[in-house]
Amino acid sequence: MSETSTNVEKFVVDTSIIIDGEITKLIESGTLVNCEIIIPVAVLDELQSQASQHKDYGFVGLEEIKKIRELADKNNITLRFEGERPSMDDIKLARHGRIDAIIKDIAKKNGATFYTADYVQALVAQAEGVKTSYSKPQVKISDLEFEKYFDEQTMSIHLKEGTLPLAKRGKPGMFSLVTVGETLLTKEYLEGITSEILEASRATQLGMIEISKSGTLVIQYKDFRIVVTHSPFSNSYEITITHPIVRMTLEQYKISEKLMQRLSEKAEGILISGSPGSGKSTLASSLADYYATKGKIVKTFESPRDLQVGKQVTQYTQLEGSFENAADILLLVRPDYTIFDEVRRYHDFRVFSDLRLAGVGMVGVVHAHAPLDAIQRFIGKVELGMIPHILDTVVFIKAGQISKVYELEFKVKVPTGMTEQDLARPVIEVRNFEDHNLEYEIYTYGEENIVIPISKENKSGGIEKLAESKIKDTIRRFDPDAEIEILSNSSIRVRVSKESIPVIIGRGGSTVNELERTLGVHIDVEPKDGGSSRGGEWFEMSESGNNFILEVDISKSGMDAEIYVNDKNIASTRVGKNGRIIIAKKSVAGKRLINAVMSKEDIRITVHD
């Protein structure tokens, strides 16, 4: 430094004054000229750390330093960095003022004026005798730029770099997308809107950053939800801002006295479903306020926290990035009801279920295009039999009004359309709440969870829908041209090619027996040529200890064999040495042979390569 520079007025700046852009404004206005600006290395490190964590404040600060350097060259201002990088101990104690103390010490050492936009920092510096200039942030907190696009009917605005601004206007279920400007949006303009929202949020304490990740930022400012995306997450800079246009009380909905009684007295596992923009969250907010006015402790789970609820309702978000962690805290505060907006990821369904089973009244919001879809979202995420214990009422919203309500009941019974009593199983009944009509049954079918619509024909014992769809799906895996004929409510005939019969019947009749057991119907398998599979090989039958011995021509040794009783396949096996087929008496086929011999039924054997 030259001797003349020692007489130059010096200024030390902290992070707050840089982020607010006050230094660049002072230089541009001519207030700061022919001086020296000192930026502590600790300030640069803090901004770099924030930028590395993809926090917008870090990027804003570094951009401001870049502008300060460019302006300094034009205004005879010396810009330099001073101090050492903060140690790990300094970083750990940052929240206790260690880094702030480092910045003030640099101002003391240089006899410089300390510039800050942090009121507490300014007070401490003045108390320590440091010459301080406190610049109260001139933050725009009303009539923000984005607000000019909103009116009473605007639900959301969509601002994308290189396009005209768009707004979604109307009412739930009847929205239209309209252009709300004639100038193409630029990245700089959108970045200005983002900075304005961030500054207003910090100054007024009315906004909060809900999510901050690489290329995306979600802010809840007042009752506006702002989603900002840019590279590398999206190919261009985009801002989407949503705003609730309707706030309703529960009494304003067209709710029957019967449903109102259920919601207030019995329902504790409520699912609100509907398509995007249908009014799901509006109803959830109404329920939250309704329960709160009834003297219930109500909390919400949201990410972001954008439900419009009364002050008596506490809004929670993810704790350390997880609703599971938040659930542990929630159970300690013992709420009567929790509004979960929105349930969409696998872990969300698990948390919802765990809280409900722990005795907390739950109201979940789920995206679904049909009432039943909301229930199906739970299938596979929790055990099927637990669903009725988690959900008791499903409300479907369409165009802002309640369109349909289902109630769930758990029963052990023979599913509708089946006839055999030994086919009884756990069944979830989905009934229309208002008239109590059974509309769907959900149960396990083999290894699959099946949802069956129940019509009047189903209730009268018809098996057409279930039999035709499931039998065709199974049989046609082996024979695409299989013909299926329904003989009665308890009997069907399947005609396939001769080559497909052994495979369809399965070893020991396992495939056809499983179908009969599951469906509760008798299945006849016949070749397509119309003749039954009579005829077959000559054989002699004898007993040896615990086995039946069926002897065919020795030339058939090593070939595949099918054993029939009254044209029904009971076993698929292989001819052993010396043309012998051995069937254990205790096996299913052996027991069937015993009955056939005692009843003098027709026994046949067919052999093929």
Mean pLDDT computed over 596-609:
80
Specify the range with the lowest mean pLDDT, choosing from 245-254, 280-289, 521-530, 597-606.
Answer: 521-530
Cα four-point dihedral sign 450, 456, 461, 463: negative
* Residue bearing the bigger pLDDT, 99 or 531: 99
* Residue bearing the bigger pLDDT, 601 or 464: 601
- Paired strand residues for 451: 442
Q: Which amino acid is at 474?
A: T
Whose tokens are 């590398």? That residue is 232
Please state which CATH number belongs to domain 145-242: 3.30.450.90
The span from the CA of 255 to the CA of 395, in Å, is 11
Q: What digits encode the pLDDT tens for the residues 109-132?
A: 888 999 888 878 888 888 888 899
- If DSSP codes are grouped into helix, strand and coil, which group holds residue 320? coil
Q: Is the pTM of this model over 0.85?
A: no
Q: What digits encode the pLDDT tens for the residues 26-48?
A: 888 888 888 899 999 888 888 88
Whose tokens are 């805290």? That residue is 329
Q: Which amino acid is at 82?
A: E
The second-level CATH assignment, the architecture, of 540-608 is Sandwich (2.60)
Q: Yes or no: is domain 464-527 CATH 3.40.109.10?
A: no
Q: Give the model's pLDDT for residue 559.
A: 85
Residue 454 has pLDDT above 70, yes or no: yes
Q: Give the model's pLDDT for residue 228.
A: 94
Q: Give the model's pLDDT for residue 520.
A: 64
Q: What is the H or E stretch that residue 441 is in?
A: strand 438-445
The span from the CA of 53 to the CA of 261, in Å, is 50
The second-level CATH assignment, the architecture, of 250-415+424-440 is 3-Layer(aba) Sandwich (3.40)
Q: Give the model's pLDDT for residue 214.
A: 83
**Cβ distance 538 to 570 under 8 Å?**
no
What 8-state DSSP symbol labels residue 558? T
Summary mean pLDDT of the chain: 82
The span from the CA of 231 to the CA of 160, in Å, is 13
Q: Give the model's pLDDT for residue 247.
A: 75
- Paired strand residues for 158: 166, 240
Q: What digits encode the pLDDT tens for the residues 480-537?
A: 667 777 666 567 777 777 767 777 777 667 777 777 776 666 777 777 654 444 456 7
Structure-block tokens of residue 550: 């069926």
Structure-block tokens of residue 63: 């951009």
Q: Give the model's pLDDT for residue 530.
A: 44
Q: Give the model's pLDDT for residue 133.
A: 87
Q: Give the model's pLDDT for residue 245.
A: 77
Q: Which residues of 334-351 are buried (b: 16+ CB within 10 A; e: fewer)?
A: ebbbbbbbbbeeeebbeb
Q: What digits encode the pLDDT tens for the residues 157-203?
A: 999 999 999 999 887 667 889 999 889 999 989 988 998 888 888 77
Contacts of 366-370 with CB under 8 Å at 24 or more apart are 366/271, 366/272, 366/273, 366/280, 366/342, 367/273, 367/274, 367/275, 367/276, 367/280, 367/342, 368/273, 368/274, 368/275, 368/396, 369/275, 370/396
464-527: same fold as 250-415+424-440? no
Q: Give the model's pLDDT for residue 395.
A: 92
Q: Give the model's pLDDT for residue 567.
A: 76
Structure-block tokens of residue 335: 């709420």
Which residues, 6+ apart, have CB-to-CB distance to 435 below 8 Å? none
Q: What digits encode the pLDDT tens for the residues 193-238?
A: 998 888 888 777 788 888 888 889 999 888 899 999 998 899 999 9
The span from the CA of 281 to the CA of 303, in Å, is 13
Pairing between β-strand 314-316 and β-strand 298-302 as defined by DSSP bridges: parallel
Q: Give the model's pLDDT for residue 173.
A: 65
Mean pLDDT computed over 412-429:
76
Residue 360 has pLDDT above 80, yes or no: yes
Cα four-point dihedral sign 57, 58, 59, 62: positive
**Cβ distance 261 to 297 under 8 Å?**
no
The span from the CA of 371 to the CA of 392, in Å, is 13
The span from the CA of 452 to the CA of 441, in Å, is 5
**Taking Cα atoms as reference points, which of 463, 589, 440, 438 lies closest to residue 519?**
463
**Cβ distance 354 to 327 under 8 Å?**
yes
Residue 23 exposed, middle or buried by CB count within 10 Å (0-12, 13-18, 19+): buried
Q: Give the model's pLDDT for residue 407.
A: 92
Q: What is the H or E stretch that residue 542 is in?
A: strand 540-544
Structure-block tokens of residue 274: 């509907």
Q: What digits encode the pLDDT tens for the residues 314-356?
A: 999 888 888 888 999 998 998 999 999 888 888 899 999 999 9
Q: Give the model's pLDDT for residue 93.
A: 46
**Cβ distance 336 to 311 under 8 Å?**
no
Mean pLDDT computed over 63-78:
88
Q: What is the H or E stretch that residue 36 is in?
A: strand 36-40
Residue 390 exposed, middle or buried by CB count within 10 Å (0-12, 13-18, 19+): buried
Q: Give the model's pLDDT for residue 310.
A: 86
Mean pLDDT computed over 470-478:
64
* Residue bearing the bigger pLDDT, 247 or 268: 268
Q: Give the model's pLDDT for residue 480.
A: 66
Q: What digits encode the pLDDT tens for the residues 260-319?
A: 888 888 888 999 998 887 888 889 999 999 999 989 999 999 887 878 888 899 999 888
Q: Give the model's pLDDT for residue 190.
A: 93
| Cis, peptide link before residue 63, omega less than 30° from 0 | no
Q: What digits encode the pLDDT tens for the residues 390-407?
A: 999 999 998 888 889 999
E strands, 202-313, in order: 207-213, 216-221, 224-229, 238-242, 269-274, 298-302
Structure-block tokens of residue 95: 């929240």
Distance between first and last Cα of the chain: 102
Which fold is adopted by the domain 7-134?
Answer: Rossmann fold (3.40.50)
Structure-block tokens of residue 259: 């449903």
What percentage of the chain has pLDDT greater than the value 70? 86
Mean pLDDT computed over 469-488:
67
Q: What is the dihedral of CA 296, 301, 305, 311, to 10 degrees?
A: 10
Which residues, 6+ apart, have CB-to-CB distance to 26 below 8 Å? 32
Cα four-point dihedral sign 260, 265, 267, 268: positive
Domain spans in the chain, listed from the N-terminal domain onward: 7-134, 145-242, 250-415+424-440, 464-527, 540-608
The span from the CA of 37 to the CA of 222, in Å, is 37
Mean pLDDT computed over 471-487:
67
